[in-house]
Amino acid sequence: MDEPFVKPVKTYKDKSDRATRDKVLDRKTLVILEKLQKRNILFDLEGCISSGKEANIYRAKIRCMPKCKFIRRSDSTENFHDKAGDTQNNNSELPVAAEDVVIKIFRTSILEFKNRNVYITNEIRFKNFRISNPRKLIKTWAEKEVRNLTRLNNSGIPSPQPLYLKRNIIIMRLIGDDVHVAAKLKDLQNVHFYPKFITRS
């Protein structure tokens, strides 16, 4: 059995409760990851493979499709090796062949959010949120990313397939293989953009 990614964390209600590791792994985030491992869903969680202004990306594997009310089962299980058949209900966790995934964990600190209002000024979903309360804002921000990824997938545009969303954590299907992760668009050369992809998006 895989060893847990993190040791059990005591609950404190002081400032240290919000201290972060790698600027994204605060106590609540670590607890979510630990629960996924204890439920035998998540394993082989590796270190950070990419770090950006808004989030860090980690590589891992799943052996079970996690329950997620925000993401429809029909969207998240497409192209996965479902061993449970069609008799399982939409709220059950379906076993799958071990699959490579990436975990995107958004930063929740106020400093990381201070410039984000530029991107959400005209967003209806964010009109009642205050920038001074990033922990509530980040949940809606993550939901927005899942919606965008779902639209890309439904349009036939190769992109990470969202599988699970919880708080500031998104688990997505890995684009790549056992050794390499697909390169970022900004790192590619001689990229040709097809008009049909632009019109369909």
Cα separation, 37 vs 8, in Å, equals 12
Q: Specify the number of domains making up the chain.
A: 1
Tokens 């545009």 -> residue: 157
Cα separation, 12 vs 100, in Å, equals 34
**What range does the domain containing 146 cover?**
15-200
Q: Which of 2, 1, 45, 3 lies closest to 25, judged by CA?
A: 45
Instruction: Look at residue 185 and tell me if it is in a domain.
Output: yes
pTM of structure: 0.72
For the chain, 201 residues long, give each residue's pLDDT as a single digit of tens.
Answer: 555 555 444 444 445 445 556 667 889 999 999 999 999 999 999 989 988 888 999 999 999 888 888 887 665 555 554 444 443 444 457 666 788 999 999 987 755 555 666 666 566 666 665 555 667 778 888 998 999 999 999 998 888 999 999 999 999 999 877 667 777 766 766 666 555 444 444
Instruction: Look at residue 162 and tell me if it is in a domain.
Output: yes
Residue count of the chain: 201
DSSP code of residue 183? P
> 76: domain CATH number?
3.30.200.20
Q: Which of 79, 59, 76 lies closest to 182, judged by CA?
A: 59
CB of 26 closer than 8 Å to CB of 18: yes
Cα separation, 81 vs 94, in Å, equals 10
Instruction: Look at residue 63 and tell me if it is in a domain.
Output: yes
- pLDDT for residue 84: 42
DSSP of 57-105, one letter per residue? EEEEEEEEE---SSS-HHHHSTTS-B-STT-S-TTSPEEEEEEEEEEEE
Tokens 């990851």 -> residue: 33
